[in-house]
Structure 1
């Protein structure tokens, strides 16, 4: 599996109000419009269940009637990304961009897919374009930080994570990424302080519980490490899979090694 961005956390499901109807409705009957709306609802339901293959099928059916609707192309791209069909998703996002060049969502989504393929510079270009259109897009700053981290440009990534958090103080993953990047650059004291503050505000945030586990373990605070691990594992068992942490969640190398030391003794 190539690098699929977890933070699926970062892909936007809809834009343009989330509806499938557009100006292309002149020759369509109310029955057909209702049918397409029902298909869209079923696609979202399938997505919520994690059944992305079914969601993709529904979006494809909608495109047969609404081939000029950029939101549908973008949503099918999201369904494809969630199945790791990254190249196919790029084609969908490209079509959405052609149809709606001034809408930010397809660029954000395409950037995430490009990250999944390790095409960091191209992803950064998409995020830069989003920020040209909307300089206060917190997601674009966070995602650009992710791509910069992929290039090992940690100091630049830290600046973008910090900017994202300034724009959207409740964007928990931007704060988490900031803390992890600080740890990678050796700012362990500040990183630990950030992690604890995040957990204080979001006690069920598995990512930071797992990060605290790793950070405490390497400093010999075994009790704190074990306590946070019980919480992390209870919330999200994927953190026991070091490959998932490294390649999907994409923690920084130093943080990955710290967690791996803990897991080896479990």
Structure 2
């Protein structure tokens, strides 16, 4: 890595927040959409996880352009898509959904070309996912894939359906139900990657999101592999922040596989490249679990001198809150446990000789 990156300041958290994930998805989707003029495919979605799919320039254009009221009846599927996208980009989810539902009804009556109908249904699913209407989104994506299973909208429909499945999994009544939904989401991310068109947005976001689903299932080898592949894809796309988030998550997953030495090396590299308290804190836990108490203590003291490090009193530090680490900072269970052991000065439960 270039020495110019060593002093580069990155956000103190390498957690994948909903907002940053949504921004990645907007860029990914818009790039895919621009690759097809007949049936654009926005290969993105959000599960908790809200607005998505537009490239940065497109988002800026929508933010500065006046919003036209929806036409009473679009003259064609293309008009309906244009109206719905404009409303969607401005946050008018209900209006966008109404435009698309009318257009789908007309398409059913007129026996519209499969690819055009699939594009309408795909966007309808996206709008519903952003409204957290996951069951209704699933119906739209299912219909899109039934209409045109391998067409221009298919990759995006699989991605969106995976997002909807993860939204349903998060609210599932039982662990078994959640597991089944995450496994289905993983299948859809795989189909999204398989069906992606040349010249589209690239594999980075679907790979990262599939890794997230593997993480939920604690399939650490699979998660590590996809995070690492996503990091390479983000690097190819010159998305450095996302690349580093993926690299950090790959290191966390590597730790969970039991290869603490490899995780330590990865986190040491990241700590030299980034101004990130989270990376250093994870490395503290890694050192402690590896039995290197002196390095763990030295790095903790250095970490506590950083801005916004959240150290505080050792036992009252936010890093002592495992729930905060897992849900807000996106750590993995073993690392969170290692940090708890370090702060309590306990021998690490998973100590490595």
State how many pairs are aligned. Answer: 234
Structure 2 counterpart of 1:106: 160
SS at match of 2:154: coil
Shift of 1:224: 0.5
Kept in 1, the 8 Å contact 2:224–2:254? The answer is yes
Structure 1 counterpart of 2:221: 155
Structure 2 counterpart of 1:116: 170
Aligned ranges 1:228-247 → 2 under 5 Å: 228=303, 231=306, 233-234=308-309, 241-247=321-327
Aligned mates of 2:161, 2:139 — CA distance in 1: 9
Structure 2 counterpart of 1:180: 252
Give the structure with the higher percent helix.
1
Higher relative contact order (CA 8 A, sep 6+): 2
Kept in 1, the 8 Å contact 2:322–2:337? The answer is no
Aligned mates of 1:125, 1:176 — CA distance in 2: 24
Cα 1:168–1:94 change in 2 (3 A) is farther
Aligned mates of 2:279, 2:257 — CA distance in 1: 17
**Stretch moving more, 117-126 or 9-18:** 9-18
**Stretch moving more, 170-179 or 141-150:** 141-150
CA offset digits 1:210-243 (Å, max 9, x no partner): 3224224543221212333554844899766421
Cα 1:40–1:91 change in 2 (3 A) is closer
Aligned ranges 1:1-266 → 2 under 5 Å: 6-8=16-18, 9-11=20-22, 12-13=25-26, 15=30, 16=33, 18=54, 25-26=74-75, 37=86, 39-43=87-91, 58-67=92-101, 69=120, 70-71=122-123, 73-80=125-132, 88-96=133-141, 98-99=143-144, 100-103=153-156, 105-110=159-164, 112-113=166-167, 116-117=170-171, 118=178, 119-134=181-196, 137-169=203-235, 170=240, 171-204=243-276, 206-218=277-289, 219-220=292-293, 221-228=296-303, 231=306, 233-234=308-309, 241-247=321-327, 250-262=330-342
Cα 1:224–1:249 change in 2 (3 A) is closer
Aligned mates of 1:217, 1:261 — CA distance in 2: 8
Aligned mates of 2:126, 2:281 — CA distance in 1: 33
TM-score normalised by L of structure 2 = 0.53
Aligned mates of 1:36, 1:95 — CA distance in 2: 16
TM-score normalised by L of structure 1 = 0.67
**Stretch moving more, 119-128 or 166-175:** 166-175
**Stretch moving more, 250-259 or 14-23:** 14-23
Which consecutive unaligned segments of at least 5 residues does structure 1 have? 44-57, 81-87
User: RMSD in angstroms over aligned alpha carbons?
Assistant: 4.0
Kept in 1, the 8 Å contact 2:97–2:128? The answer is no
Kept in 2, the 8 Å contact 1:110–1:126? The answer is no
Structure 2 counterpart of 1:46: none
Aligned mates of 2:231, 2:84 — CA distance in 1: 41
Cα 1:152–1:167 change in 2 (3 A) is same
Aligned mates of 1:238, 1:133 — CA distance in 2: 43
Cα 1:172–1:154 change in 2 (3 A) is same
Kept in 1, the 8 Å contact 2:84–2:100? The answer is no
Which consecutive unaligned segments of at least 5 residues does structure 2 have? 1-14, 35-53, 63-67, 105-119, 145-152, 172-177, 312-316, 346-353
Kept in 2, the 8 Å contact 1:210–1:229? The answer is no
